Amino acid sequence: MDFSNNRLSIAKAKEMDMVDYLSTLGHEPSKIRNNDFWYLSPLRDEKTPSFKINRKLNRWYDHGLGKGGNLIDFAILYHGCTVGELMENLNGNLSFQKPVFRQSIKEEEPENRIRVLDDFTLSSYALLRYLEQRRISIEIADRYCRELRYELNGKTYYGIGFKNDLGGFEIRNPYFKASSSPKGMTTLNNGAKEAAVFEGFTDFLSFRSIHKNEPEDRFDFVVLNSVSFFEKARPFMERHEAVRLYLDRDTAGQNYSRYALSLSEKYRDESHLYRNYKDFNDWAVNFGKSEKKQLKPKR
């Protein structure tokens, strides 16, 4: 592919074929499995290929860094440059063959060092009120969450904690959203034939609140806690006869939903239920409000 003909827009640059692009940089796949092209990571030193491009989606993911995205996301990491410098590069004013901006990529340290001090039953009025505002059943939240006392930057705070499989917590309160280490997904195995998959735990709690009168073992559940854990969740998900995806309606969530549908007929995208909202919980909180406003009698 010729990367220097005509001036490229950022939108067009994002959609350039990534396999061809990496080839111009001197990187060839170590193995190819259907649409997945696996490489030794161009962003760091490794001996086992863990950098993948899905050619159908034209998106990459580096399992060692826990990062992924489109061509521009990759290139600014690879060259250590700004988007503006990259576009000059793509338009032929700088050489791709010798990435002069290349910097070594190190594992990022978390911006906020959170230390969980204690966990106990949900009891704080402010946190219970927050759950009610999110239209989440206190009974359901109490079954899956703990109230945390945690330290951040030398100060102590309280939050709702949702535990992952590695022992870390997703933490929420009315003013804060973060995670304690280690970061990971949460799986709930009820011995069911179907799995329901959510991106965040408030979506999961909303789903359980709406269906609280149904048997808990109707589904096994996966809460990714980050869409970047999708690949790691696949072995658990694909043990089931059907996998219902309730991912966010943003670009990342919809890309992973399309990716899943291309993998197997087991996957079903259920996000059409809340197509006018950003995620399942947003739909649960706001659904019906406009109708109520219309039905409210005028004085």
Give CA torsion, residues 180, 183, 184, 188, to 10 deg: 0
Closest Cα to residue 173, out of 141, 137, 209, 126? 126
Q: Which helix (H) or strand (E) holds 196?
A: strand 194-198
The burial class, CB within 10 Å (0-12 / 13-18 / 19+), for 28 is: exposed
Say which CATH class 10-90 falls into: alpha beta
- Is 296's pLDDT higher than 80? no
Indicate the pairing of strand 176-179 with strand 67-69.
unpaired
pLDDT digits (tens, 9 = 90+) for 38-92: 999 988 877 889 999 999 999 999 988 888 999 888 888 877 777 877 777 666 5
CATH number corresponding to 186-282: 3.40.1360.10
Provide the pLDDT for residue 289: 58
Mean pLDDT for 157-174 is: 93
| 170-224 confidence digits (pLDDT tens) | 999 887 888 898 999 999 999 999 999 999 999 999 999 999 888 888 999 999 9
10-90 and 186-282 agree in CATH topology: no
> Position of tokens 């973060």?
178
pLDDT for 170: 95
According to the model, what pLDDT value does residue 91 have?
61
Per residue, the 3-state secondary structure of 204-250, as one string, reads HHHHHHHCCCCCHHHCEEEECCCHHHHHHHHHHHCCCCEEEEECCCC
- Domains of the chain, residue spans: 10-90, 114-179, 186-282
pLDDT tens profile 96-108: 333 333 333 333 3
pLDDT at 278 over 50: yes
* pTM (global) more than 0.75: no
Q: How far apart are the C-alpha atoms of 152 and 50, rounded to whole Å?
A: 33
DSSP 8: P
